[in-house]
Amino acid sequence: MNCAECEVLLHALIDGELDAGHASEVEAHAADCAACAQKLAAFRAMRESLNAANLKEAAPARLRGRIEAALPAPTQVIAAGKFARPSRRSFFGGFAAGTAISAAVAASLVLTVWRTDRERTIADEVVSAHIRSLQPGHLMDVETSDQHTVKPWFDGKVDVAPPVIDLTAEGFTLLGGRLDYIDGEPVASVVYRRRKHIINLFVAQRLGSAHDFVSARTIQGYNVRHWSAQGLDFWAVSDLDSVELGEFVGKISAALRPNGPS
Amino acid sequence: MLARLPTASLSLPASGAANGGRRPVVAERDTMAGNADEREKARRFRDAALPHLDDAFTLARYLLRNTTDAEDAVQECYLRALHHFDSYRGPAMKPWLLTILRNVCNAEFARRGKHEPPSAVADTEEALQSPLWQEPQASPESALLRQQDGDTIRRLIAALPVAFREVIVLREINDLSYQEIAQIAGVPVGTVMSRLARARAMLRSAWNAAEGSTP
In chain B, which residues have their Cβ closer than 8 Å to the Cβ of A63?
Answer: 53, 57, 71, 74-75
B75 inside 8 A of chain A by CB: yes
A53 inside 8 A of chain B by CB: yes
Region at B29 (left for phi over 0; alpha for psi -120 to 50; beta for the rest): alpha
Q: Where a domain ends, among B115, B142, B177?
A: B115
Check CB contact under 8 Å for A11 and B53. no
Same domain, B34 and B107: yes
Q: What SS3 string covers chain A? A: CCHHHHHHHHHHHHCCCCCHHHHHHHHHHHHHCHHHHHHHHHHHHHHHHHHHCCCCCCCCHHHHHHHHHHCCCCCCCHHHHCCCCHHHHHHHCCCCCCCCCHHHHHHHHHHHHHHHHHHHHHHHHHHHHHHHHCCCCCCCCEECCCHHHHHHHCECCECCCCCCCCEHHHCEEEEEEEEEEECCEEEEEEEEEECCEEEEEEEECCCCCCCCCCEEEEECCEEEEEEEECCEEEEEEECCCHHHHHHHHHHHHHHHCCCCCC
In chain B, which residues have their Cβ closer than 8 Å to the Cβ of A8?
Answer: 193-194, 197
Intervals of CATH 3.30.200.100 along chain A: 70-256
Same domain, B32 and B88: yes
B35 inside 8 A of chain A by CB: yes
Q: What is the pLDDT of residues A14-62, one digit of tens each?
A: 988 888 888 888 899 999 999 999 999 999 999 989 988 889 999 999 9
Of A206, A200, A209, A207, give the one whose Cα is nearest residue A248.
A200
Q: Where a domain ends, among B86, B115, B144?
A: B115
DSSP conformational letter for B87:
G
Does residue B169 lie in a domain region? yes
- Best of A11, A77, A159 to mutate (most B CBs within 10 Å, chain B): A11
Q: Where a domain ends, among B95, B115, B135?
A: B115
β-strands A197-204, A142-143 pairing: unpaired
Same domain, B84 and B132: no
**Taking residues A134-151, what's their average pLDDT?**
83
Query: How high is the pLDDT of residue A146?
Result: 85
Residue B7 pLDDT grade (very low, low, confident, very high; cuts 50, 70, 90) = very low
CATH code of the domain containing B104: 1.10.1740.10
Same domain, B110 and B129: no
In chain A, which residues have their Cβ closer than 8 Å to the Cβ of B90?
Answer: 231
Same domain, B66 and B46: yes
**Taking residues A96-102, what's their average pLDDT?**
36
Same domain, B109 and B148: no
In chain B, which residues have their Cβ closer than 8 Å to the Cβ of A66?
Answer: 71, 75
Region at A144 (left for phi over 0; alpha for psi -120 to 50; beta for the rest): beta
Q: What is the pLDDT of residues B75-125, one digit of tens each?
A: 999 989 988 888 887 668 999 999 999 999 988 888 887 554 544 444 444
Does residue B3 lie in a domain region? no
**Taking residues B28-32, what's their average pLDDT?**
46
Q: What is the pLDDT of residues A33-43, one digit of tens each?
A: 999 999 999 99
> Count of domains in chain B?
2
Indicate the range of A108-117, A124-133, B188-197 predicted with least confidence.
A108-117
Same domain, B106 and B136: no
Check CB contact under 8 Å for B35 and A51. no
Does residue B14 lie in a domain region? no
Same domain, B164 and B87: no
Same domain, B48 and B110: yes
Query: How high is the pLDDT of residue B135?
Result: 47
In chain A, which residues have their Cβ closer than 8 Å to the Cβ of B82?
Answer: 71
Residue B155 pLDDT grade (very low, low, confident, very high; cuts 50, 70, 90) = very high
Q: What is the ipTM of this complex?
A: 0.71
CATH code of the domain containing B162: 1.10.10.10
- Which CATH class for the A70-256 domain? alpha beta
Does residue B97 lie in a domain region? yes
Query: How high is the pLDDT of residue A93?
Result: 34
Query: How high is the pLDDT of residue B22?
Result: 41
Question: CB neighbours of B206 closer than 8 A, spacing ≥ 6?
Answer: B156, B159, B160
Does position B158 have pLDDT exceeding 90, yes or no? yes
Same domain, B166 and B101: no
Does position A237 have pLDDT exceeding 70, yes or no? yes
* pTM for this entry: 0.52
How far does the CA of residue B210 sit from the closest CA of chain A (Å)?
A: 14
Nearest to A210 among B44, B150, B178 (CB): B44
Q: How many residues in chain B?
A: 215
Full domain range(s) for residue B174:
125-209
Most confident of B35-44, B63-72, B86-95, B136-145: B63-72
